[in-house]
Structure 1
């Protein structure tokens, strides 16, 4: 009887741990070091030429304790392959390096995360057509709600503007809003979406895609693997160079 009870408790504990890992796998504010390998294949851009492109992103996130305050540092570096003109040629290379430090505010509920902090974009592009060619400063705000083991949701909101010498280029003023919602299907499978909606305050161009994701969360020892694919389609856009249709796929890893 005692052995059966202990076995049941152990199984329940394992199941609860697995559910928590699945619920937190897409939390950008999870108190866990993470490394992400992400890719956007853009099948077609708005504007002439019906041209395609690609953006490959390496991303690293690490929680940091500074005194009594908790921060999340997230750094991203893209490798871009974008069309040039309408002749079918492309330009390839590293894009601008992006980093933000989000101060995590105590919500009183460990399942609800909320953070805000500064963002810096460095002009590291190997070709000025792959980046803004100017330093940028901005702000990032993140919210994630994992109170339900079945349904999680939240958003990432950022704005950044060009500072200093713009080298003759228009000064950047770009906002982005990334809503996300995920529904757990069981056995590590989940669905949902996390499109990025952008708005250019300088020329009022914008992009509003929607997508549907299929993902799988796998926990191995002290690593949580999150693999997914998410086709996205534009439902509203303005201006040339916006993605009409793209496929977002990734391998995200959290190190417990």
Structure 2
């Protein structure tokens, strides 16, 4: 074959769309990046037990829309919302059952659209705590704010990095305890060519007012599928409470989730 024909054939092949499997794997990998330019709406269910002297239990459905907003050619603002819907029973002794909304956590990450030197991806901005709980036992009763940041690298099938924030209470019910809380989430994940993702992280919180750690270690498996043109990721996992506050959860917990993706 003549070199010119060979070159033309190679160029035509390069211009073809990626195979569907490769596109699915790319979308699955974007889900591992908290500041990816990808609209997603996760519904994450968590169940834990072992609260208080009566071994109370708690189930939380976190609704977590992620919306990237382009502000110029170089920067995005990533809006990440966590809206918890909570059911709990006897988490503080004989305290009965409660059901309703918890407090909303709203984060905004200013993030470059392109990775930096060495492929580093990062974002930083403010985080807000909104006292939206429908029951006093489902929320803090406080308004809060503070800084948040994430840094990560995606290297082949691997994604690894950490997300952190700190929230101080600034207003709210004066009869409720003040808040000074640090959240740390180191994470690592591996995405296969057929869009399976295996993830390990902790979602640790340190309460500076009471000098207490909460350290759940989470392992999950996710699979991205398409229903027609709609990509959806399904997740299931388990966690172990390596450290918890007094009267907090203990032992093993369960996590399951479904995420709807809306590629731009």
Using structure 1 for the length normalisation, give the TM-score: 0.88
Gaps of 5+ in 2: none
* Paired position in structure 2 for 1:206: 213
2:68 is the counterpart of 1:60: no
The secondary structure found in structure 2 opposite 1:22 is helix
Structure 1 unaligned regions, length at least 5: none
Does 2:188 align with 1:181?
A: yes
- Structure 1 residue 111 displacement after superposition: 5.6
The 3 A distance-change label for structure 1 pair 183 and 165 is closer
How many residue pairs are counted as aligned between the two chains? Answer: 254
Q: Which moved more, 1:218-227 or 1:64-73?
A: 218-227
For the pair shown, which has the larger CA radius of gyration, 1 or 2?
A: 2
2:233 is matched with which residue?
226
Q: Residue 32 of structure 1 aligns with which residue? A: 38
* TM-score relative to the length of structure 2: 0.85
Q: Distance in 2 between matches of 1:194 and 1:239?
A: 23
Secondary structure of the residue aligned to 1:146 is strand
Shift of 1:7: 9.1
CA distance in 2, matches of 1:153, 1:217: 19
Tell me the distance in 2 between the aligned counterparts of 1:133 and 1:212.
Answer: 32
CA distance in 1, matches of 2:45, 2:187: 17
Q: CA RMSD in A?
A: 2.7
Question: Is 2:131–2:140's contact at 8 Å kept on the other side of the alignment?
Answer: yes
Q: Offset at 1:250?
A: 0.8
Give yes or no for the alignment of 1:43 onto 2:54.
no
Task: Say which of 251, 259, 263 aligns to 1:244.
Answer: 251
- Deviation at 1:130? 0.5
